[in-house]
Amino acid sequence: MAVVAGWVRTSRKDDRLVVAAGGSWVVATTAALDGPLRAVDAADARTVVIDLAAIEMLDTAGAWLVVRTQRALQSVGRTVAVENLEPTFVPLLEQVVQNVVDGPPDMHPPPRRFGDFVARIGRVTVAQLTGGAALVGFIGLVFVTTLRTIRHPSRLRLTALFSHMEQAGVNSLPVVGLLSFLVGIVFAFQGADQLRRFGAEIYTVNLLGVSILRELGVLLTAIILAGRSGSAFTAQIGTMKVNEEVDAMQVLGLDPIEVLVLPRLFAMMLTLPLVAFFANVMGMLGGAIMAWISLDITIPGFLRQLRSALSGWTFWVGVLKAPTFAGIIALTGCYEGLRVSRSAESVGRLTTRSVVESIFLIILADAVFSIIFSYLKI
């Protein structure tokens, strides 16, 4: 839309200052009008007339400028009259006159200071501690509910359990399998490169076997499932919180822990070891293929070497960690989901949080396992 420019002209008649306004006084022209209006100098005039006769277009922003100028001149003791406004614009000007806020508006949050930083440290610390206490409470609650479900197994929601097993387990097989396969290839390639210098290429198989079966297979699976299913748990439960579905459940006499948390927890604990096993197989497969291509170790040769490399515990060390990781993922996911408030924005925030927390806790738990296993010498 072509906007006619707005203009301001001042003229003097004895001790009267006439401020003539014309053209478009609309939001698009306010920036241009602002300067001239501030520059209006009523130093030796007693009365000021704001003559609006030539105004062609006026909106609230333009009217606001008129009123602001009027008030500014009044505040320094001038008599100000606003005249000759076209009648169609009068209601608009009245509307603005009633709503102009005097003085500099105070509408910005105060700037940050060093004290705020200290206060923030304190706030975060308290929040972490209370959050930790709430988490312990949640784990206890889940534990008690689990015991009750064990006594009354019929209360376990089987449909939900199988559906979550499908989503977390079966549907994650392609991505977990592919990634493990690739990691197997990369490990075989890098390991072979280093070990060749000692003429010990055959030990690539040992490297693969130990690292994938003990650590990488299960860790990779847990991290992928934390990103895939842990986040889904938080988002699903969080959305239900936003829709007040969790409240509705409670009012209907359903226990949200029993209905929402236990199926996810059990599904995770049952499927993660299986998916981790699949990841182990795919990782070894990738390693075996790479060994065959770059080291000329045939598949039967690979298997023979692998058998000699592994102690009875190697495989179980990996698989034993799986249910723990599964518990971490499911509990963190559900806990953060239940912490969602009624705003949609908190769903996103807590989902991110749940993923970061579970990956952090998984790696922490893995370190603890390493220490325990090294004490046990397995």
Q: Which residues of the shown chain bind another protein in the complex (CB under 8 A)? A: 1, 4, 26-28, 30-31, 34, 56-61, 64, 68, 82, 85, 88-101, 104-109, 343, 345
Tokens coding 156:
């376990």
**Coil/strand/helix, residue 224:** helix
Are the beta carbons of 183 and 215 closer than 8 angstroms?
Answer: no
For residue 146, CA distances in Å to 185, 223, 229, 263 come to 41, 25, 21, 10
Q: Between 166 and 345, name the residue whose CB sits nearer to another protein.
A: 345
Distance CA 90, CA 93 (A): 5
> Among residues 97 and 135, whose Cβ is nearest to another protein?
97
Nearest to another protein of 38, 307 (CB atom): 38
Minimum Å gap between C-beta 235 and another protein is 18
CB 238 within 8 A of CB 346: yes
Nearer to another protein, 30 or 294 (CB): 30
**DSSP string computed for 61-120:** HHHHHHHHHHHHHHHTT-EEEEE---GGGHHHHHHHHHHPPPSS---SPPPP-HHHHHHH
- Minimum Å distance from CB 334 to another protein? 25
Identify the residue whose tokens are 């003097």.
Answer: 12
CB of 100 to another protein, least distance (A): 6
Q: Decide whether 67 or 329 has the Cβ nearer to another protein.
A: 67
Question: Of 42 and 82, which has the nearer Cβ to another protein?
Answer: 82
230 neighbors 358 (Cβ within 8 angstroms): yes
**Nearest residue (CB) to another protein, 65 versus 210:** 65
Q: Whole-number minimum distance, CB 19 to another protein, in Å?
A: 16
Q: How is 283-325 classified by DSSP, letter by letter?
A: HHHHHHHHHHHHH---HHHHHHHHHHH--HHHHHHHHHHHHHH
Cβ at position 184, least distance to another protein in Å: 44
CB of 79 to another protein, least distance (A): 12
**Cα–Cα distance for residue pair 360/219, rounded to 1 Å:** 12
Question: Least CB distance from residue 78 to another protein, whole Å?
Answer: 15
